[in-house]
Amino acid sequence: QQPIQVIGGGLAGTEAAWQIAQAGVPVILHEMRPKRFSPAHHTENLAELVCSNSFGAMASDRAAGLLHAELRQLGSIVISKADEHAVPAGGALAVDRGQFGEDLTKTLANHPLIDFRRGEVTAIPEGIVVLASGPLTSPDLAADLQRFTGMEYLNFFDAASPIIAGDSINKDIVFMASRYDKGEAAYLNCPMNKEQYLQFREALCQAEQTELKDFERETAKFFEACLPIEEMAKRGEDTMRYGPLKPVGLSDPRTGERNYAVIQLRQEDKAGQLWNMVGFQTNLRWGEQKRVFQMIPGLETAEFVRLGVMHRNTFLNAPQLMLATLQFKQRPTLLAAGQLIGTEGYTAASAGGWLAGTNAARLALGKEPLILPVTTMMGALFEFIRSAAPKHFQPMAPNFGIVPDLGVKIKSKPEKYGRYRDRSLADLATWKRENLPILIEEDNHR
Ligand code: FAD
């Protein structure tokens, strides 16, 4: 049997290679380190955690914790090693990163069906392949990927605005309209008077920014056209009012008049549960973003499902290119996972690795690739990746805003998230019985 090739031994590639080998299919895992290092990696270990040592909140009624629970049900190697090497971290699943990476490296290298090769891959190979080269994919491979997808479908920089949960927006203040009433009313508009605008601008100018890394500063130079909102505020009192906060073409239904400034929120998902702050790419610290953006009328109790970032990040326009099975539409034998497909964070990358690896092995065995139930956090994430609007696609972290509604109104957040958790784990158990009887057998032997 021809081995499957996995490119990149990060979070996604490590999980993918393990799932392929566990399905009885030979796999070649290519990792360029230590021959070549990305600007953020420093060790030879598989699944190196480049920054924080945390996989996020542990409780299964939190988005990250639910993803951990789903991955445990599915036999993820990354989460099982994270559990084994966990260190105390309050409510988070954090690990001893050295032990975690060394153990995974040894475990994979010792698997009889994994051929672990140290070296850079510079072009997408033939055959069944899983691409998992991450946010800092080496330049030659990125160029080949760009040739394959078309120039405009691979991004090198992530300048993402915050995203807000729709049900946390105060609809008594914010109004729905499109500028000049063009087309259907499509934007939520947060109105500001002069005093509110000046206070907001002052807070933006004073707020603390994150430090860009050297390699990010280099990349940021190319993005003069995409100024952070705080930079715009500093350039002049009215600069934002001629940019993303322009009030023209909108009148406030409460007064029938034009506001002094307006912040627009654009719908991010089909269900209208997520709203993106238009033009609010920012380098402010996360705590500062919450504090300052909650000054905006209507957003006083806003729940941010994603905060703004501006950093180097190689990612594909997944909604244009991918299926929810994590196969490319134009070449179904090519799959991808991790930061490259626009999921954010270590746990989401491992989840993508699980699905891409499982489906790559199924293709090799002549079986149909699988789609996860959308009521699970994993399924919801890959459905978002497939169905988000391609024009404004930005990477997404796991969050409850992307999960289909429960269909009943529940006020208490802990109760609501607990219900999401129960539904997800029950649906995943049924799905597993129907699609992966082999995993059920392994569970019975444990
Ligand atoms: P990676 O884990 O980066 O794995 C990709 C692997 O592919 C790497 O080992 C790389 O060496 C290898 N590779 C690249 N090109 C080639 C090639 N041509 N041939 C062979 N191998 C190749 N997420 C968090 O959850 N928490 C954080 O604190 C956090 N901090 C971050 C800080 C920085 C600076 C960056 C860039 C990202 C950060 N992220 C963080 C996001 C993080 O990168 C992802 O969560 C996760 O590592 C993505 O997993 P991945 O498998 O897609 O990529």
Place of tokens 């940019």: 243
Q: The complex's ipTM?
A: 0.99
CB 78 within 8 A of CB 11: yes
CA of 303 to the centre of ligand 1 (A): 27
Q: Is the pLDDT of residue 1 over 80?
A: yes
Cross-strand bridge partners of residue 95: 86
Q: Is the pLDDT of residue 78 over 90?
A: yes
**Is the CB of 425 within 6 Å of ligand 1?**
no
Closest among 348, 320, 196 to 263, alpha carbons compared: 196
pLDDT in tens, 347-367: 999 999 999 999 999 999 999
- Chain mean pLDDT for the chain: 92
Segment among 73-82, 122-131, 205-214, 339-348 with least mean pLDDT: 205-214
Instruction: Check residue 210 and give its pLDDT.
Output: 84
Angstrom distances, CA of residue 71 to CA of 118, 216, 351, 355? 27, 32, 7, 10
Taking residues 297-302, what's their average pLDDT? 97
**Is the CB of 40 within 6 Å of ligand 1?**
yes
CA of 365 to the centre of ligand 1 (A): 29
Closest among 4, 3, 87, 14 to 337, alpha carbons compared: 14
CA of 286 to the centre of ligand 1 (A): 21
pTM of the model: 0.86
**Is the CB of 346 within 6 Å of ligand 1?**
yes
Q: Is 238 helix (H, G, I), strand (E, B) or coil?
A: coil
- Residue 289 CA to residue 304 CA, distance in Å, equals 9
Segment holding 416, helix H or strand E = helix 413-435
Q: Which atom of ligand 1 is nearest to the CA of 311?
A: 36
**Is the CB of 121 within 6 Å of ligand 1?**
yes
CA of 14 to the centre of ligand 1 (A): 11
pLDDT in tens, 423-444: 999 999 999 999 987 766 666 6
